[in-house]
Structure formats: structure tokens, C-alpha cells
Structure 1
Amino acid sequence: MSHTLGYTVNCSLLFTELPVNERPQAARDAGFHAVEFWWPFETATPEQAEIDAFVTALDNAGVRLSGLNFFAGQLPGPDRGVLSHPSRTAEFLANTEVVARIAERTGTTGFNALYGLRQDGVDPAEQDRLALENTVAAANAVAKVGGTVLVEPISGSDDYPLRTAAEGLAFVAKVKEAGAENVALLADFFHLAVNGDDVAAVVRDHAAEFGHIQIADAPGRGEPGTGELPIDELLTAAQAGGYRGLVGLEYKPTVPSAQSFGWLG
């Protein structure tokens, strides 16, 4: 490894053979000090006891929760976020308050807000207006805990409006114009590569603007070394370009999770 960036384990794709609240300890046992999760609950506003159990699992494992998704509907599945879906705005806004409360207890500062797919019968312009409004609201909700809303281009669905780094950065710029400064691009090298971006050029031109990096190899989304992405070179370039955050390991391991870290050397 020619960079010195630290790692955080995405426990929504790794250690999935274990119940959610056992995954932080598994990550710690594998040598990591930070974890990130997609929204780990079934609903946007889980019971307090569920939240307490999740936070306790993190504390007991001695790992830091470095990142958390806002509620995103069924993920993976038909939703890919709800922030642009009119029928779910109340649910999303209620969720931002829950997220902020979890952040107060865990020190988490990175929060992924997934845009949501285009919906039949809803004007795309209305979805875009709503996405902007709800992202500003989310940014305001986490600002009080020093949080940043992350905007992630993703692959796997043509109905997802943000697919390239340029589209993600353009949306980030709109949110900032609307008055929320605490928003940044989440650069997932796998999604960008699969969607046809020149990932090396994105890193070269924008590394210092990234709010977070996530990695998986492409094609396949397995651990580094299972595909063709020059991940070590990209991370070295990102660090040289000014990125100082953690790197999220958000891959689908091709072997049991605890055995999937051999590429770290």
C-alpha cells in the first residue's frame, strides 16, 4: 500500500452472515477501529430500544461509527433512497432527526442521502425540486453534530438520476447554492467505474472535494484484487490530491468476510 489512508468496514455488505449488532465486534476482531452502515433498521423511525442496542453494540466492540445512511427505503431493492419521493418526505424528514440523535451518541459525521429512483407518474422536475429541499433539510439536521451529507452516484439502475461524478458534483453545487454548505460527493470507485466514469480523472480533478471514498473492485464488486480497478493507485492519488478521510470497504466478499482482507497485505 503506497497510501496511509485508514479504513472503515461497511457492515451492511461485510459480515452479513451475522446479525447486525454482532458485526461491529467482528470488524474489531478483524483489526478495524471504524465501521459504517447503511440504515441498519427496518423503519425510518425505529423504537428507542433498537437504537440503544445498536449504539451499545458499537460501544462494546470499541469501534467508531464513521458513516451512516439516512433511511433509504428497501435497500438493496426497489427504492434506492426516498429523498426525491413525494409520498415519503414526511418519513425522510422524521428520519433525519433520528440520524442526528444517533450522531450525537456516536460522533458520526458522514451521512449518505440516497436520491431515489425516478417514479412513474411523478414529474422528474418535481422529484429534483424535492430532492434539493430534502437534502438541505438533512444537512441542517446534521449540521448541529458537525455532520456532512454525502451525495453518491450509484450504478445498477438506469432510473437513478445521479450516475456520474459530474452529476453528483452538480447536485452538491445546487445544495450549496440553496444554503447548505455541509454537503459533499461520496466517491464510490466501483459505482463510478461501472457507470463509465474515468475514475483516475475524477480523483485527479476532485479528490480534495470528496466527502468520503468507498471501494470495491470492478467488475463484480468483490474485494480489491478480484477485478481490474487499480485501487491502490487511485487511493494514493486521492491522498496526494488532498483527501484525508477514511476509505469505506463496501464490497461483496468472495470469501467469508473475515478472510477477505488479504489484499491489505
Structure 2
Amino acid sequence: MLRFSANLSMLFTEVPELERPAAARRAGFDAVEVQFPYDHDAAAWQRALQEAGVELALCNVPAGDLMAGGQGLAGVPGREAEYREAVRQAAEVARVLRPRTINVLAGCPDPQHERERCLDTLAANLAHTADVMGELAIGVVTEAVNTVDRPGYLIDTSRAAFELIDRVGRANLRLQYDIYHMQVMEGDLIRTLRSHCARIGHIQFADNPGRHEPGTGEIHFAKVFEAIAAMPYDGFVGAEYVPSGRTEDTLGWLGARR
């Protein structure tokens, strides 16, 4: 049976952030994701999640200036100290909120940095993150991101992500497979999911083009969801899309899976 989570950084933005867990629960979600739960006190998030009766499936390690168009932290040589501070902050929040998984965004290093050096930096930072989160019994994932939306993103295919994960060599490090990003970069979604199911720690989705809800683009989500449901996958499937209207009006796909 599929277990869906709602990404509250993109869905239910019609209401204030701390009211979104309850909105997601009313809509039928049992879990939520928050990209960066650092603008509110962790205790406030904890109350909102507990009162709504939802689990926190995923959040990200702080990514510095990445979301504002900068390089980010994890894969950028020279920013190792900043990244370790970000991991410390993420661990403090994780102790309270107990997310199932923490995601690390590789970033978009400046072309002045040699790619191999960036990969070495990212691998070391991922190893550190996996060690810190492993002490809290929390999984770590990293994702491949398409370079159409994010030019210069360091890890842009599932193959590159798996090579990186192999380089790091930590048992609690797996891939966050984003269906939207991988449809843009490589397609072959179901084959990849089936082939690498054991190495996938979290799945996210949006349709393409547009990054809107299922049914607005080219992806045959009925088949994709059917395939995931048949796999020995034990994680959540996260709705991380830009609603084409009010969030509640874009959840027809969720009703179809109940």
C-alpha cells in the first residue's frame, strides 16, 4: 500500500505554515514533509505535527544560499565549516521532530571548482551527515536534480547519485528519487525504481512539464504508482508539486489511490 506525504513547503500554502499539518491531515495525508523547518521553533512544529496526527517524513539539511540562486553548501569546496554547522542545526531539530529521513542538497558549485574536488567535498559531507544522523537512528538521502531548472546542479542523474552513494559507503545513506527531476533528465522511471528499490530511501513526485499535480503533464502516474505499490519499498511517496489551483482542488490523484 502506498503511503503519501504532503510537502508543506509547496502544498497548502493557502494557510500559515504551522497550520499546514492539520490541513494535510484533513485532506487525507498521514505524513508531511517540510523542506526547511528552521524558521519556527522546533517545539512549535512538534505541537503542530502532534495535534494534526501526522508524521514528519522528510526535511532538508539547511542549504545556505542555494534556494536564493547561490551555490549551496554540501558540494562546495571551502564551505565545509558552514555545512557542518548546518548539520548541527539539522540534528538539533531532528532530535525533537524525529523525521524519518533527512535530505542533503548537493548544490550548484561555481564552475571554478573542479568537479572531482566538488564530489570529494560532497562525499565527505555526506559521510559526516550519515554518521551524525545515524546516532539518532535517522536515515539520510541525497537527490539528483534536473539541470534545466537548476543549471549546474552537481548531481543530475540517478547513476551519478548511486556512484556518489557507493563512494560514501554508509549503510544509512540512500537515494531520494524525484520522479519529476528524473523524468526531465532520463525518463525510464519504472525500470529505475524497480531496479534500485532497495537503495531508495524516499520518493517525490510532480508531473512534467510544469511541475504541477499528476494529470497535468506527460507522466502516466497510475502506472508509476501501481509499480511502486508492488515493490518492497517501505518509505513515503511525497507530493512535491506546484498546485495549479487551490491545493485541495488538485488532489484528485490522491482520492483515486484510496
TM-score (normalised: structure 1) = 0.89
Unaligned runs of 5+ in 2: none
Number of residue equivalences: 253
Query: For residue 11 of structure 2, what is the aligned residue in structure 1?
Result: 14
1:186 aligns with 2:176: yes
Query: For residue 168 of structure 1, what is the aligned residue in structure 2?
Result: 161
Determine the C-alpha separation between the residues in 1 that align with 2:227 and 2:71. 30
Determine the C-alpha separation between the residues in 2 that align with 1:261 and 1:71. 29
Q: 2:108 aligns with which of 114, 117, 133?
A: 117
Query: For residue 62 of structure 2, what is the aligned residue in structure 1?
Result: 71
Query: For residue 137 of structure 1, what is the aligned residue in structure 2?
Result: 128
Residue 25 of structure 1: how far off its partner (Å): 1.7
Query: For residue 26 of structure 1, what is the aligned residue in structure 2?
Result: 23
Query: For residue 45 of structure 1, what is the aligned residue in structure 2?
Result: none
Q: 2:200 aligns with which of 200, 206, 210?
A: 210
1:205-224: CA deviation from partner (whole Å, max 9, x where unpaired) = 11232111111111111111
SS in 2 for 1:86: coil
Query: For residue 198 of structure 1, what is the aligned residue in structure 2?
Result: 188
2:66/2:107 contact within 8 Å kept: no
Determine the C-alpha separation between the residues in 2 that align with 1:76 and 1:232. 31
Identity %: 34
Residue 75 of structure 1: how far off its partner (Å): 5.1
Residue 18 of structure 1: how far off its partner (Å): 2.6
1:223/1:254 contact within 8 Å kept: yes
Q: 1:250 aligns with which of 235, 240, 244?
A: 240
Query: For residue 46 of structure 2, what is the aligned residue in structure 1?
Result: 55
TM-score (normalised: structure 2) = 0.91
SS in 2 for 1:184: strand
Residue 149 of structure 1: how far off its partner (Å): 1.2
2:145/2:182 contact within 8 Å kept: yes
Determine the C-alpha separation between the residues in 1 that align with 2:105 and 2:199. 19
1:232 aligns with 2:222: yes
Query: For residue 94 of structure 1, what is the aligned residue in structure 2?
Result: 85
RMSD (CA atoms): 1.8
2:6/2:31 contact within 8 Å kept: yes
1:118/1:160 contact within 8 Å kept: yes
